[in-house]
């Protein structure tokens, strides 16, 4: 297929992409960017299009993949600033004055709860807490891997029930 034929076919089917872009992004400006990027990628990869196949499906697939990649890329980026006027910092809910006594009481409660665990649960839990992997703990205790995982799970469950929430 010549590039002229491909361009004609592409432009004849490109208008169907606009509503799909709006559906994906829920924003007209982002939809325009997605539409433009899709057409660019289609033109850049015209050699990968097989003549006679459904070009709409090919274009929809390109658009969907671009959208998914952009979404994943956006999730990886940490957004610290809000888009509101003044761009106030988010998550600035730090206490004005720290309460060391309350913190010490919480730590004592946690230590007591761990100390009072049955030995069968405490030993694998403490090893896991110290940073060992499940398979390493299983080898140290000479227990099956599933047993170690379940004991750590039950230890966590017991600790959650024993430690009061403040």
| Ordered structural domains, the chain, with CATH | 1-91 (1.10.1740.10), 98-165 (1.10.10.10)
Q: Which residues pair with 81 in a beta bridge?
A: 89
Q: Contact, 114 vs 159, CB < 8 A?
A: yes
**Per-residue pLDDT for 98 more than 70?**
no
**Per-residue pLDDT for 100 more than 80?**
no
Q: Which residues pair with 89 in a beta bridge?
A: 81
Give the model's confidence band at 15: pLDDT under 50 very low, under 70 low, under 90 confident, else very high.
Answer: confident
Distance (Å, whole) CA 70 – CA 49: 23
Instruction: Please list the alpha-helical segments (H only) found in 45-144.
Output: 55-76, 100-115, 119-129, 134-141
**In angstroms, how far is CA 46 from the centroid of its own chain?**
32
Give the model's confidence band at 113: pLDDT under 50 very low, under 70 low, under 90 confident, else very high.
Answer: confident
DSSP assignment letter at 165: P
Q: Contact, 119 vs 151, CB < 8 A?
A: no
The pLDDT tens digits of the residues spanning 24-74 come to 888 888 889 989 999 899 888 888 888 888 888 888 999 999 998 888 777
């Amino acid at each position: 297929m010549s590039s002229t034929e491909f361009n004609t076919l592409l432009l004849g089917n490109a208008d169907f992409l606009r509503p799909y872009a709006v559906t994906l992004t829920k924003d007209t400006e982002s939809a325009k960017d997605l539409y433009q990027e899709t057409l660019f990628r289609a033109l850049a990869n015209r050699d990968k299009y097989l003549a006679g196949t459904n070009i709409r499906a090919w274009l929809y697939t390109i658009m969907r993949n671009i959208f998914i990649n952009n979404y994943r890329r956006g999730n990886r980026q940490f957004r610290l600033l809000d888009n509101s006027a003044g761009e106030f910092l988010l998550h600035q809910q730090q206490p004005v004055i720290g309460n060391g006594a309350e913190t010490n009481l919480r730590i004592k409660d946690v230590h007591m709860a761990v100390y009072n665990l049955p030995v069968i649960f405490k030993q694998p839990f403490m090893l896991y807490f110290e940073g060992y992997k499940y398979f390493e703990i299983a080898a140290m205790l000479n227990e099956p891997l599933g047993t170690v995982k379940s004991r750590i799970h039950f230890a966590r469950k017991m600790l959650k029930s024993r430690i009061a929430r403040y």
